[in-house]
Amino acid sequence: MGFGDLKKQSSLGSLTAKLVKEVEKQNGGGGGGQDDRLWKPTMDKSGNGYAVIRFLPAPDGEDLPWAKMFSHAFQGPGGWYIENSLTTIGQKDPLGELNRELWNSGQDSDKETVRKQKRKLSFYANIYVVKDPSNPQNEGQVFLYKFGKKIFDKIMEAMQPEFEDEEAINPFDFWQGANFKLKLKKVAGYWNYDSSEFDRTSPLLDDDDALEAVWRKQYSLSALVAPDQFKTYEELKKRLDYVLGSKPQSTRRSTVEEEEQYDNYAATEQKRVTEEEVMRKLEDSYQASKSTPAPSDESTSSTDDEDDDPMSYFSKLAES
């Protein structure tokens, strides 16, 4: 699809309906250092953050303006397990299988373990930074932005307003979209995005040539979740066994009904728990863990060493 085609379908209709349909389908279905492509808001001394960004259309040759990623991040006896889940690309994942096994054991303690190490859902999108008071050099630049369900829900609310007097918009549209005023603050110790909102609809820029230049600077989203970006099942299993310090054995086979109950639980929990809650718990747990160094193992990959580095750890999470 060329840039001219993108403008032709700018008005609400086929594209917005397609995005909404894709979200409904997804909801029904259930490594390294700092990445310079990623943008995140900067907090001031009071713990608040503010910026204005614009979500951009799908990159050239791709269908969706976002990509979703499932990941796990928890601490076990052998250190931290911070890995992307193979369930993102529809494959079996060792931790997903373990969680199912534990959930069906009939033990409340096993269910609590599942809650601590369950999947976390994140999204990636291309953004144009309109205003970044803490880092003005970012303004006018294109970045990848990683965000959680809270912000994604605001995007969906913009495309599917709850009330009749609210006008639906496509936040990813160059011409009839809207800037997103990101307002981040701490409420009762949690990072909170409730005050964030979309501005009135307006073109991102008045010059179509400039808009096309922005569009061509975007990063591929499909490449972020390509199969070659994930560790193999065997690599993840090795890391998981090391972090857990043991290999739990199944006491019995789960029934089809029990597996369906677990799937329903996982879907419900994914909607209930926000990224801010998970991040706070991980941050508190990580800081507490610093007094007890994780055991070293020369046979593990370089990712194991990164788990002991707080900057690397939080950059891997890349929370918004």
> Chain-wide mean pLDDT for the chain?
79
Least confident range of 4-13, 138-147, 191-200, 214-223 = 4-13
Residue 24 burial (CB count, 10 A)? 12
Amino acid identity for residue 35 in this structure: D
Residue 136 burial (CB count, 10 A)? 10
What tokens does 235 get?
A: 């690599």
The single residue listed with the structure tokens 């803490």 is 134
Q: Find the mean pLDDT for residues 52-72.
A: 97
Residues 248-271: pLDDT tens digits? 444 444 455 555 555 665 555 555
Q: Evaluate if residue 275 carries a pLDDT over 50.
A: no
| Single pTM value for the model | 0.70
CA distance 36 to 135: 14
Report the largest interatomic distance among the alpha carbons of the chain, rounded to a whole angstrom: 65
- C-beta separation of 16 from 115 below 8 A: no
Residue 113 burial (CB count, 10 A)? 20
The single residue listed with the structure tokens 């976390």 is 120
The single residue listed with the structure tokens 């700092």 is 34
Which residue segments constitute the domains of the chain, with CATH numbers given?
3-317 (3.90.198.10)
Cβ neighbours for 21, distance < 8 A, ≥ 6 positions apart: none
Q: Pick left, alpha or beta for residue 32 (phi over 0 → left; psi -120 to 50 → alpha; otherwise beta).
A: left
CA distance 160 to 181: 19
End-to-end CA distance of the chain: 30
Residues 280-296: pLDDT tens digits? 444 444 444 434 333 22
Structure confidence at residue 264 (pLDDT): 61
Structure confidence at residue 257 (pLDDT): 57
More confident residue, 273 or 99: 99
- C-beta separation of 54 from 214 below 8 A: no
Residues 163-206: pLDDT tens digits? 988 899 999 999 999 999 999 998 887 788 999 999 999 999 99
Structure confidence at residue 16 (pLDDT): 62
CA distance 264 to 60: 36
Least confident range of 19-33, 115-129, 216-230 = 19-33
- Counting residues of the chain whose pLDDT is more than 90, the rounded percentage is 59
Sign of the CA dihedral 15, 196, 174, 169? Answer: positive
The neighbouring-strand residues paired with 141 are: none
Residues 69-113: pLDDT tens digits? 999 999 999 999 999 999 999 999 999 999 999 999 989 999 999
Q: Evaluate if residue 32 carries a pLDDT over 50.
A: no
